[in-house]
Amino acid sequence: MTNQLEQLKELSTVVADTGSVESIKSYSPQDATTNPSLLLQAASLPEYAEQVQQAIAFGQQHDGSNAKRLSLAADKLAVLIGKEILQLVPDYVSTEVDARLSFDTWTTVSRARRLIDLYRQEGVNSKRVLIKIAATWEGIAAARQLERDGIKTNVTLLFGMDQARACADSGVFMISPFVGRILDWYKKADPERVWSVENDPGVQSVRRIYNHYKANGYSTTVMGASFRNIDQIRALAGCDRLTISPTLLAELEQSSAPLAAGLSPGQPQSEDPNPPVTEPSFRWAMNEDAMATEKLAEGIRNFAADQVRLEQLLDPSHTPARQ
**Strands 31-33 and 93-96, bridge-based pairing:** parallel
Strands 221-224 and 153-158: unpaired
CA 132 – CA 167 distance, rounded (Å): 13
**76 belongs to the catalytic site:** no
- Cβ count within 10 A of residue 172: 28
Torsion of CA 270, 182, 41, 244, to 10 degrees: -40
Nearest-angstrom CA–CA distance, 19 and 59: 21
Give the residue ranges of DSSP H helices in 190-289: 201-215, 230-235, 246-253, 279-288
Rounded to whole angstroms, the Cα distance separating 266 from 269 reads 9
β-partners of residue 32 are 16, 93
Contacts with 315 (C-beta within 8 Å, 6 or more apart), sequence order: 66, 70
What is the Cα gyration radius of the chain? Answer: 19
- Per the residue annotation, which of 76, 132, 152, 295 is the catalytic one? 132
Catalytic residue positions? 132
